[in-house]
Amino acid sequence: MNVVEAEIYLDAAATTPPRSDVIEAIVEAQRKAWGNPSSLHNTGVKAAELLERLRWELAQRFAVVPDQLIFTSGATESVHLAIVGSAAKLTPGRIVVSGVEHPAVLAAANQLKNKGWTVAFWPVDALGLIRLECLEELLAEPTRMVSLIAAQSEVGALQPTDVVGQACRARGITFHSDATQLIPQGCPEFNHFQSDLVSLSAHKFQGPRGIGLLIRRSNLSLSPVQGGGGQEFGLRSGTEALPLIAGMAQALSVLPAYHLSGDTVPPGSGADVRRQRDDLLQELLEIQGLSLLGPNVTQRSPNHIAVLVGSAGGQPLSARAMVRELARRGVACSSGSACRSGQRQDSSVLTAMNVPEPWRQSGLRFTLGPWLDDKALKQVPERVLDAQRALS
Ligand SMILES: Cc1ncc(COP(=O)(O)O)c(C=O)c1O
C-alpha cells in the first residue's frame, strides 16, 4: 500500500501541529526582539520588554502574578524543577506519586532517593484513577510531597487534583500537578488545581516544542537544579527562548477557559473535539476485538480515546504493529506514551491498572485536536478494521 500523503493526525498527546498564528508570533519575536533580555543596551531592553509583557499576559491567563511563572524547556524540565527544586528546601521524607505518572515524574522522584527520600506509589483502579480511599494512609507522616498527573496521557483518566491538593494543603504537604495533557483541553486558573506547583509544555497545545512553564505558589521556596546566569529569578539559568515564549503565549491565548473541579470535564481543545471523539469512540467500539481502555467519557480527557486491540477472535494484538499498519493507511496514532514508543515492553500504566498481562502491549491511543474534520474522521474506523485484519 502506498504511503498516504495527507495523514489523519490522531496523536495530539504526543505533539500537535503548530498554529499558523503561533508560527507568525515566533517569527516576529525572532525578527524584532532577537536581543538578549539581560543586555543593558537598547536591543537587550527591547527583548526584556517583550519578555516581561509576555510573562504578564501568560500570568493573566492563569490568574497569577508574573513572578509565579518560570519559563523552562518543556514539561520534563518543569517537573524536575518542581520536584527536585522543592525537595531541596524540605526535610527529607516521603514523596508520593501516582502509579500512572509520566516517566519525567518518575525520574525526578527517583533522584530524591539518594537525598534521603523514599518514593511511594499511589495505587490506581482498573480505569487508571487513583484510589482515593488510600488518601489518609498515603498522606500520613513522613509524606512531604505529592505529584499527580492531572490528565493521564496513555488512558486519558482525569485525576482529582483539587481533592488531593486540598488534602495536601491541610497537612502542609507540597503538591505538584503535571498538567501537560490537561491544559490543552481547557485552561484553568492556577488556584483551581489547589496545587503548589503546576507543569506544562507548549507543544501539546499547538505551540512550539522546547518551551514550557512551571507555575508556583507565590511564597513557595524552590532551589534551582542548574546554575548559570541566574535568569528566571535565579531559578532557571539560561538565556530566555523569547521566540518560543511568544509562540507559547499565542497558543495559550486561544485555549478555552475551564473551571477545574472534581466532577467536570474540560471543554476540549476545539469546539468540535469532544463530539468528534464521542462519535469516533462509538464507531471504534463497534469493531469486534476492540474494547475501551481507561475511564468512560465522564472521567476522561475530552480528546482522548484508548482501546485494547485484539483480533476479532479475541486474541491480543501488538499495538505497535497496529500503529505501523495504520501509518501505512494514513492514520497517525500511538501505542501509548510517545517517549516509550521506541521500547518494546509492557506499558507501566497498564500494569499499574492491572490489565491482564497478555494485553499490556495492546493499548492503542487516538488523541484528537481542532485540525481534524468530520470527513477525515469518518475514514478512521474502516482503516482500523483493515489494519486489524492484516494482523489477525
Ligand atoms: C503528562 C506528560 N508530562 C510530561 C511530558 C513531557 O513533556 P516534554 O516532552 O514537553 O518535556 C509529557 C509529554 O509527553 C506528558 O504527556
C-alpha dihedral sign at 59, 64, 70, 74: negative
Determine the 3-state secondary structure of 286 from DSSP. coil
Ligand 1 proximity of 50 Cβ (cutoff 6 Å)? no
pLDDT beyond 50 at 1: no
Among protein residues, the one with the nearest Cα to ligand 1's atom 14 is: 14
In the reported structure, the alpha carbon of residue 338 is separated from the centroid of ligand 1 by a whole-number distance in angstroms of 9
Residue 365 CB less than 6 A away from ligand 1: no
Helix (H) or strand (E) holding 331: strand 331-332
134 is a catalytic site residue: no
Q: How confident is the model at residue 6 (pLDDT cuts 50, 70, 90)?
A: confident
For residue 367, give Cα distances in angstroms to 112, 153, 359: 33, 9, 20
Q: Which fold does the domain 8-18+265-391 belong to in CATH? A: Aspartate Aminotransferase, domain 1 (3.90.1150)
Look up residue 209 and give its three cell numbers.
Answer: 516544542
Measuring from atom 4 of ligand 1, which residue has the nearest CA? 75
Q: Cell match 532551589: residue?
A: 223
Strand-pair partners of 303 = none
Assign domain 20-253 one CATH number from 3.30.2130.10, 3.90.650.10, 2.70.70.10, 3.40.640.10: 3.40.640.10
Residue 121's DSSP bridge partners are 97
Question: What amino acid is encoded at 387 in this protein?
Answer: A
Phi (first) and psi of residue 334, to 5 degrees:
-145, 155
pLDDT at 377 over 50: yes
Q: Is the CB of 334 under 6 A from ligand 1?
A: no
Ligand 1 mean position, distance from CA 278 (Å): 25
Ligand 1 pocket, residue 381 CB under 6 Å: no
Reduced to 3 states (helix: H, G, I; strand: E, B; else coil), residue 239 is: coil
The structural domains of the chain, with segments of one domain joined by +, span 8-18+265-391, 20-253
Q: Given ligand 1 and candidates 180, 183, 301, 340, which is best to mutate, with the most ligand atoms within 8 Å of its CB?
A: 180
Q: What is the pLDDT of residue 343?
A: 54
Query: What does the pLDDT look like over 292-342, one tens digit per residue?
Result: 999 999 999 999 999 999 999 999 999 999 999 999 999 999 996 444 455
Q: Name the active-site residue from 134, 168, 187, 339.
A: 339
Residues 223, 225, 230, 234: what is their CA dihedral angle, to the nearest 10 degrees? -20
- Looking at residue 3, its pLDDT comes to 39
Q: Is residue 301 lining ligand 1, measured as CB closer than 6 Å?
A: no
